């Protein structure tokens, strides 16, 4: 094997060594590099990785704007006293932050936190901008990076000291308005996962003891990873009136009465890229749905010296036609590489569809299309190539989604008592669904023994236990059950 | 006057008190707010201001991507030792930075700078990614914020401790390749100003003593502000091989020989928004070209109770048709405001085109269009409203550009000796064009007396002095002149 070939091979096993395999895919597919010396926990997002984030931004930002959200930008620093003010509201919210203590050659009078999240700087401005009910709903979003100084092992896109995200903050006249907002954003996150990233998710709310500090309800979409752990894919918080009261977000209603607003916040980070990479990729490298792939199609001409000219010309024609149709296509006409090398490279990089063109394809006015996820190869007519390719994009997407859905469906298991909960989680991972009394102690007990927690409680409308008059009993303690709980190990 | 009306009035004079007038426009048009207590020098970019930055991003990012640039994201922090490494290369480059010294509850071993610019963290990675001539040119860009701890008075978008920008960094095989890149980016910046922001610019290079530290050549586009000062609108640097040598950016050429790359960097910050706002706005408030206006058209129905229904229906039809054509339009059908108030408000907010619809317009199947910059009012047929509006957009754009061009043309004055240089700058501001010997002392002399400097030297091809065999003499010292210099006070 040459160096180049070694570079293209994934050596770790997805099923046996998921973490190392993931890190190898991220590195070899050129998605990210580790930060410089002295900056463990930081990553450099390389162009192919950043393009995935741009795809997420484009999809989500368009949805946000269609539904009344405006983007803004707030300072990267937050004075310590502002963070403290939030602490009073939401006891126990003490993110580990990076502190700026020197500006130029001077010591600062007050430390500035590099934003770990922006509630405490955005809320005072919303308070200032909202005067009357006519200013509501007010919806502000920002795309930015945040820093949380956690001393954990780095895992690109999943766990990094700095990460990219968006954070939306809204204010409403009524509790109902805030609740609708919370669910609208959760729907948009669900759609991001299911319609853009080809990842089915479970939706529900966090148990009361695990809501965002100060929030009334935290809603979540949860995605299952191949190692059987759950990823909190995005969260949308109904904050009730606690933040509005703390930050004086009030408005005069139609009767000119002063009232306290109801607020929400919601966010998704580049962790969704981690979920994307981990869910679909395999031991040949990165696998991406065509919806987000920076290069959607690669055209690989296969020639001998006597067929070079006709094959290349044909391949160029196909490429141009796809380009004109707005498809992101690359013609790989490098002389110095053979087709086998090219196949490996584009597989490693996750190009969803490969078009192979040799003398036979030229003679028969055909194309050979190969799907990245499973290597399925199909011969198609050359005519209407753009339409054909779009059809295959849909097929590739459907394959990825179906595989992930099958995994998810098979990973939700019921359990009725403690032994079964622990045994099932230990043997299979995934989600264990069990009736739950609502007591945090019952979660603590499981957590202690197997490091799994309640990642989600289905919404009331989806919860079969609601309305059964407490006939079921808690899988942990045996007391009457209030709700269904999903236990899982999580990222 | 009611409170509301006061809020809509600009009280400062653009010509007599440009700085205060500018600050008032920024605040009252809802573009930005000042940062919180304890954070002087920072601003909050409000949705209407941020939308302008998004318009700049969209225009420029598309150009960049069409010309081989890929976006990436590098950490917000840079270890002190990395900055030091750069200092060795480019003596005297010592931006005032904000230092992170604590992470969580621990003191850091090494201080981390909040990025003031990213050469020193991007170059080492480019060095790592570039191996062969096949990897070149390599072009990486990032949209981010940077922090420079300068203790000057805050002026939103012009002078802030944190600002948004893009920074592009490229590596090339040859000096010529790097030079072409430098000029390509300068062309794109010129086009941003002239074709998107309606601001004519002067293009050229910075005098040798004012190039970016370590650079071979710094090129610039300069825009004239209404107070007679020049704004450095964007810069594009040919860095030669100094950075490549310092950071080991080398590649093996076709003969497998190791060679040192040639690099460039180029950037534009939200200062271009400052130039945009300051150039076109007036004493009614913000004025924007339709190319960047978040709301391009406002439709204002004008009714009496007996005509309300028909007027509103007609206005809704017009609005819908414009929306369908992809025009950003707002129907202002608020009951609680009269048309005069609405006119003032939309003028303050810089909506480029207003459509007034009353019973007469409905009867005659017409529309009254009013241009924001000069209040010109035109009656047009209702048919083909989208085309009509697009035509008026072009007219509004042309008016703004023509006005700025006239100002610029009238502000470039020639001077042949010291007294004339000082006198002209003192009386008129603007640019003074003079033959220059090339000696930095001659600039220093002017700078001392009137705080003006050489903001630009035309490119060799544009410089009339090139090829005249030094017949002209330096306007300051009288020695033989090498180049033409443009003196101006600057932001
Ligand atoms: Zn229990
Ligand atoms: Zn001189």
Average pLDDT value for chain B: 94
Give the pLDDT confidence score for residue A369 in this predicted structure.
98
Give the pLDDT confidence score for residue A213 in this predicted structure.
85
Q: Which pLDDT tens digit goes with each residue over B180-235?
A: 999 999 999 999 999 999 999 999 999 999 998 889 999 999 999 999 999 999 99
Q: Which residues contact A101 (CB under 8 A, 6 or more apart)?
A: A107, A108, A111, B99, B100, B101, B102
Q: Tell me the domains of chain B and their CATH numbers.
A: 3-280 (3.30.930.10), 297-395 (3.40.50.800), 412-488 (3.30.110.30)
- Cβ atoms of B300 and B332 closer than 8 Å: yes
Residue A92 has pLDDT above 80, yes or no: no
- From residue A20, give the alpha-carbon distance in Å to each of A10, A27, A278, B409: 10, 11, 11, 63
What would the mean pLDDT of B82-104 be, rounded to a whole number? 78
Q: Which pLDDT tens digit goes with each residue over A270-314?
A: 999 999 999 999 999 999 999 999 999 999 999 999 999 999 999
Residue A4 has pLDDT above 80, yes or no: no
The helix/strand/coil state of A83 is helix
> pLDDT class for A8, splitting at 50, 70, 90?
confident
State whether A98 and B98 contact (CB < 8 Å): no
Average pLDDT value for chain A: 94
Give the pLDDT confidence score for residue B91 in this predicted structure.
59
Residue A481 has pLDDT above 80, yes or no: yes
Residue A318 has pLDDT above 90, yes or no: yes
Asked if B39 has any chain A CB less than 8 Å from its own CB, the reply is yes
Give the pLDDT confidence score for residue B35 in this predicted structure.
93
Give the pLDDT confidence score for residue B331 in this predicted structure.
98
What would the mean pLDDT of A43-65 be, rounded to a whole number? 98
What would the mean pLDDT of B93-99 be, rounded to a whole number? 79
> pLDDT class for A1, splitting at 50, 70, 90?
very low
The DSSP secondary structure of A247-302, one letter per residue, reads: TT-EEE-TTS-EEE-EEEEEEEETHHHHHHHHHH-BTTB----TTT-SS-EEEEE-
Give the pLDDT confidence score for residue A5 in this predicted structure.
57
What would the mean pLDDT of A30-35 be, rounded to a whole number? 96
Closest-CA residue of chain A to B148: A104
> pLDDT class for A466, splitting at 50, 70, 90?
confident
Q: Which pLDDT tens digit goes with each residue over A320-357?
A: 999 999 999 999 999 989 999 999 999 999 999 999 99
- Cβ atoms of B187 and B173 closer than 8 Å: no
Distance of CA A16 to the CA centre of its chain: 24
Give the pLDDT confidence score for residue A165 in this predicted structure.
98
Q: Which of residues 356-385 of B touch A (CB under 8 A)?
A: none
- From residue B263, give the alpha-carbon distance in Å to each of A117, A313, B120, B126, B237: 36, 35, 13, 10, 9
Across the strands, what pairs with A480? A473
Phi first, then psi, for residue A131 (nearest 5°) are -120, -50
Mean pLDDT is lowest, of B116-130, B352-366, B436-450, B469-483, for B469-483
Give the pLDDT confidence score for residue A467 in this predicted structure.
74
- Cβ atoms of A36 and B121 closer than 8 Å: yes
Q: Which of residues 190-229 of B touch A (CB under 8 A)?
A: none
What would the mean pLDDT of B146-167 be, rounded to a whole number? 93
The residue with greater pLDDT, B466 or B360, is B360
**Which of A468-472, B4-8, B199-203 reaches the highest mean pLDDT?**
B199-203
Select from A4, A7, A31, A36 the residue whose CB has the most chain B CBs within 10 Å, as the one to mutate to test that interface: A36
Distance of CA A393 to the CA centre of its chain: 21
* Closest by Cα among A169, A136, A124 to A252: A136
Residues of B in contact with A110 (CB under 8 A): 38
Give the pLDDT confidence score for residue B1 in this predicted structure.
41
Give the pLDDT confidence score for residue B151 in this predicted structure.
76
Per the document, the length of chain B is: 491
Asked if B66 has any chain A CB less than 8 Å from its own CB, the reply is no
* Closest by Cα among B243, B112, B169, B133 to A47: B169
Count of A-B CB contacts under 8 Å: 154
Residue B2 has pLDDT above 70, yes or no: no
Residue A2 has pLDDT above 80, yes or no: no
* Closest by Cα among A23, A386, A53 to A196: A53
Give the pLDDT confidence score for residue A91 in this predicted structure.
59
């Amino acid at each position: 094997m040459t160096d180049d070939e070694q570079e293209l091979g994934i050596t770790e096993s997805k099923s046996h060594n998921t973490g190392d395999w993931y890190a190898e895919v991220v590195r070899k597919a050129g998605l990210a590099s580790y930060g410089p010396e002295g900056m463990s926990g930081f990553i450099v997002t390389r162009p192919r990785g950043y393009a995935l984030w741009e795809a997420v931004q484009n999809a989500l930002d368009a949805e946000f704007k269609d539904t009344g959200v405006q983007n803004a930008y707030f300072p990267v620093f937050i004075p310590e006293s502002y963070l403290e003010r939030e602490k009073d509201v939401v006891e126990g919210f003490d993110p580990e932050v990076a502190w700026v203590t020197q500006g130029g050659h001077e010591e600062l009078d007050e430390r500035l936190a590099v934003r770990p999240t922006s509630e405490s700087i955005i809320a005072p401005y919303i308070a200032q901008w909202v005067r009357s009910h006519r200013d509501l709903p007010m919806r502000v979003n920002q795309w930015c990076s945040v820093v949380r100084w956690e001393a954990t092992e780095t895992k690109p896109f999943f766990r990094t000291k700095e990460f990219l995200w968006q954070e939306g903050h809204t204010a409403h006249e009524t509790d109902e308005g805030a609740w609708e907002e919370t669910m609208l954003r959760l729907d948009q996150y669900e759609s991001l996962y299911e319609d853009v990233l080809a990842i089915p998710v479970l939706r529900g709310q966090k148990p009361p003891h695990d809501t965002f500090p100060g929030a009334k309800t935290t809603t979540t979409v949860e995605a299952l990873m191949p190692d059987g752990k759950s990823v909190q894919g995005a969260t949308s918080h109904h904050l009730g009136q606690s933040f509005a009261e703390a930050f004086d977000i009030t408005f005069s209603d139609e009767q000119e009465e002063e009232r306290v607003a109801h607020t929400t916040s919601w966010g998704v980070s580049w962790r969704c890229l981690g979920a994307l990479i981990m869910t679909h990729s395999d031991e040949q490298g990165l696998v991406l749905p065509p919806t987000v792939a920076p290069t959607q199609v690669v055209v690989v001409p296969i020639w001998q010296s006597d067929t070079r000219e006709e094959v290349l010309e044909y391949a160029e024609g196909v490429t141009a036609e796809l380009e004109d149709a707005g498809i992101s296509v690359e013609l790989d006409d490098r002389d110095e590489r053979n087709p086998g090398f090219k196949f490996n490279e584009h597989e490693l990089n996750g190009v969803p569809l490969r078009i192979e063109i040799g003398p036979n394809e030229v003679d028969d006015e055909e194309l050979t299309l190969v799907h990245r996820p499973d290597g399925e190869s199909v011969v198609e007519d050359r005519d209407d190539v753009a339409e054909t390719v779009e059809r295959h994009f849909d097929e590739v997407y459907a394959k990825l989604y179906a595989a992930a859905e099958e995994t998810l469906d098979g990973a939700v298991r019921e359990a009725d008592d403690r032994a079964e909960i622990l045994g099932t989680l230990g043997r299979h991972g995934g989600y264990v669904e069990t009736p739950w009394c609502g007591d945090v102690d019952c979660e603590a007990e499981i957590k202690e023994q197997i490091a799994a927690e309640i990642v989600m409680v289905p919404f009331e409308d989806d919860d079969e236990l609601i309305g059964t008059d407490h006939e079921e009993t808690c899988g942990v303690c045996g007391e009457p059950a209030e709700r269904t709980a999903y236990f899982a190990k999580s990222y």
